[in-house]
Every structure is written in C-alpha cells, then in structure tokens.
A and B are shown apart, each in its own frame.
Chain A
Amino acid sequence: MLMTDTTGGNAALLNHVLRHGDRALVLAQRLGEWVAGSPELEEDMALANISLDLLGQARVLYTYAAELEGLGHDEDHFAYWRGPDQFRNPLIVEQPNGDFANTIARQFLHDAYAVAHWDALRLSSDETLAALAARAIKETSFHLRHSRGWLVRLGDGTDESHRRMQAGLDAMWPFAAELAALADENELRECGVVPDAGVRAAFETVVALAIGEATLTPPAPVEVATSGSGWDGTHSQHLVDLLDELQVLARAHRGASW
C-alpha cells in the first residue's frame, strides 16, 4: 500500500475512502426505502439490488478506512457511530426519494458520475482501490444502464412522464455539479492514487447525451459553492433524518447481532 509514509498522505486517503463509503451507504439507504413501494415488484427488486451493491461497496470502503485509520474500528463504526457532520457524502445522495422520476434523476446523475469515478480508479496506484474499482465498475455500469434507460424512457415517453422526468431532473440538477468537483484531492492525484483527471469531462458527456436522447431540456449550469460541500461534512436535515433511521437499532441495542 502507498501513502503510509506520512500522516498527511494517509489522512487524505482516509478522507477519500470515507467520502465514497458514505456516498454509497447513504444512497443504499435511500434506495432501500423504495422496497415494496415502487411501480412493480420487478422494480422493487431492481432498486433493492442496486441498493445492496452500493452497501457492498460501502462495506469494503469502510473496512479499508478502518485499516487506514488504525484505531481498531470496524466497518460498523463508520456506519453507525458517526454523526451527520462526520459524513462526507455528496448532497445529492441524501435527497429524499420524491416520486419515481425524481429517484431516477438522482440515480442517473449519481451513476454517471460513479461510472466515471470507478473507471478512473481502476488505474489507481493504490492496490486496494484499484481492486475495488475493477469490481465496482461492473455493477455500477449496470446501475447506469438501468437509471439511464428509465431517464430516456420517461423523458421520451408520454406527456405526463416527460413532465415528471423534467421536474425530477430540475430538482436534482443543483446537486450534480458537486459530484465531480473535488478540489482538495490534488495530493492524491499527483501521486496517482486518485487518477481522476478525466472524470468530470466523462461525467458531463454521459449526462448531456442522455438528456438529449430523453428529449429533456438541460437545466442551466450551476456554480459549485466554494464552501458548504457535502464532501466536507456540510449536510441538510435530510441526512440527519436518514441517519436517525439507519442508526437507531445499533444505538438502542449496542453490540446487538443476529
């Protein structure tokens, strides 16, 4: 493993790993809320499957984070015993599900970013991240196929589905720019741990093509705020509520197992 030589480098890598673990865990929790509530049983299964894939990614990342941190924590520590201000997920994944089109818009923007992210991370000089990326890119590509398919199907569907898909895209758009705008990982970039130079361009291209194919109107570009990013632990009440539910059992019955 690289980056163990300096405390600074290790801290930057730990921060990166937690950002993506949190991204995956929070979205997994949101998608889980759809179970038994989606348009058809088959879609329940599809969303639950994606949720479980993301949960699996979060577990690997948290386990790696525990190793990097070196304080004897396990994966559960990061999921259950941190408060909202310690979560570093981008804001888009904590947004409420809304209607199905809203969920699809959120998922599509996330998946387009995640595919670009994992694709780049396959070349990471960090062996653990590269191995995870090689595995994650396969399932994430399928997630994108699913969410992109629905974006196009609803956008280029009936008047009602088009209206709802546009509304969903408009609602999620303000959170899209933050995804590929990590300004403070230069150190990790320079040493090849996070070789993400092309991620933003790849993300924007995939999004633009799909929006066009879906006959949707691209929302106006949004400036990324220079402070208050979810990646840095600034969150909305939505994450507080989500974590309340996610953590209540572990906190009410400390050490419980099944």
Chain B
Amino acid sequence: MSPGWPLWEVFVRARRGVNHVHFGSVHAADSETALQAARDLFTRRQEGASIWVVRSTDVVASDPDDEGQLFGPAEGKDYRFSTDYKLPAEVDHM
C-alpha cells in the first residue's frame, strides 16, 4: 500500500427521490478520478443514480469524547417522541 493519493468519502444515491448515503472511501488523485473510482467500486451492480465525493479532510467529525455532552442530554426526554402522546379517542387511527 502506498496511499500517495488523498482519501475521498463517497456518497451514493440509489435512485431518484432518496438521499445520498455514505458508501465508503477511495484514494484518488483528484475529484474526477475519485468519481470514476467510486463508480467502479460502488456502483457495479446498479446501486447508483448519483455519486458525491468529498475530500475526507473536509469532513468535520464530532469528538468521541464529547459523546456525553452531545448525545447524553437526549436521554429520558420521551416527549420528543410522538409515541409519548395519547391520541383522543375520536381521532381513532393516525
């Protein structure tokens, strides 16, 4: 392995109307070769209708050590779920 080429994150949209989803990453010299490599590696079985590539260094990630302060406060807040609310009997199904 001689990853002299930078890393790119690959996002593929499977079909019109759905979101691009992270599929993996490729090494490539530039954005055009990154798109081509992503096409070769991730859309061989007709998985794709559209591809995005983003330089991995341009992705800003949350710090795993911040998990507590970022995601902990969401615990125990049942009122953020629709299932926490009782429907009036006359609404029946929703």
Chain A interfacial positions (CB closer than 8 Å to B)? 39-43, 45-46, 49, 142, 145-146, 149, 153
Contact = CB atoms under 8 A, between A and B. Distances in A.
Interface residue tally on B, bucketed by range: 10 to 19
Contacts of B41: 42, 45
Contacts of B40: 42, 45-46, 49
A145 B30 CA distance: 14
A149 B36 contact: yes
B63 interface: no
B51 to A, nearest CB: 13
Is the contact region of chain A dominated by helix, strand, or loop, or is it mixed?
Answer: helix
A63 to B, nearest CB: 23
B37 interface: yes
A42 B28 contact: yes
Interface of B: 1-5, 26-30, 32-33, 36-37, 39-41, 44
Given A145-B36, A146-B36, A149-B36, A42 B30 contact: no
Contacts of A49: 40, 44
Contacts of B30: 153
A153 B37 contact: no
A153 B37 CA distance: 16
Nearest to B30: A153
Nearest to B8: A42
A149 to B, nearest CB: 6
Contacts of A149: 32-33, 36
Contacts of A45: 37, 40-41
